[in-house]
Amino acid sequence: MRLFVAVRLSPELRKALIQVQNAMRDHGVRGNFTPEENLHLTLAFIGDYPDEQAVLDALSTVRFTPFTLSLDGVGCFGDLWWAGVQESAPLAALARRVRRALAENGIPFDRKRFSPHITLIRKASRDAAGMAAAPVSMSVDAFSLMRSDRGRRGMIYTELGSVAAQPGGRGSAGEDV
Ligand code: 2AM
């Protein structure tokens, strides 16, 4: 079972990202565009791991309070183009806490530095520089454990469970506990 931990995006954010993808298409960019329902921001990539419940138990120990996520410009890793988000200490803290909870429970994950991005297209045929998303924001009130399966027409992501933010108080966003 291939697993990852992600922030799922609001309909408004996804709509803004679809507009960026459409602008790319209008500029002649071809490739594997991420379908709207698959758009997400990964906090940690676990990969193949058999024990879904152990991961959910580990993630349930993570405490955070709601925070705002805002779209920013567009960038790339080679021919993969993504939408960035405005620098966010609470987001970085959430990723750190998720990764710490996994590590403390012996669950392996990709230790590459957290580099927040929302993949818009893989194998882009040409440069998609100069695009920008509308200045849309959302409140991050939860994060999710996702399973990734290869379907006939691309990847299928299924939410296995989610962890909700705490309403304010100790362990608040940005504070690393
Ligand atoms: P990507 O969009 O940049 O490819 C599911 O594959 C999610 O986990 C994607 O958001 C993917 O990021 C991310 N991910 C992070 N590290 C990964 C890895 N080593 N292999 C596959 N996906 C990874």
What residues contact residue 105 under an 8 Å CB cut-off, 6+ apart? 54, 57, 58
pLDDT value at residue 73 = 92
| From 2, 4, 113, 123, mutation site for ligand 1 pocket: most ligand atoms within 8 A of C-beta | 4
pLDDT value at residue 169 = 54
- Taking CA atoms, 78 is separated from 21, 25, 75, 123, in Å, by 17, 18, 9, 9
Q: Known catalytic residues?
A: 40, 117
> Per residue in 107-142, pLDDT tens?
999 999 999 999 999 999 999 888 888 999 999 999
> Per residue in 144-173, pLDDT tens?
999 999 999 899 999 999 999 998 755 444
pLDDT value at residue 41 = 98
**Alpha carbons 138 and 126: distance in angstroms, whole number:** 30
Ligand 1 mean position to 45 CA, how many Å? 6
Name the token pair of 124: 């882009």
- The number of the ligand 1 atom at minimal distance from the alpha carbon of 41 is 10
Question: Whole-model pTM?
Answer: 0.93
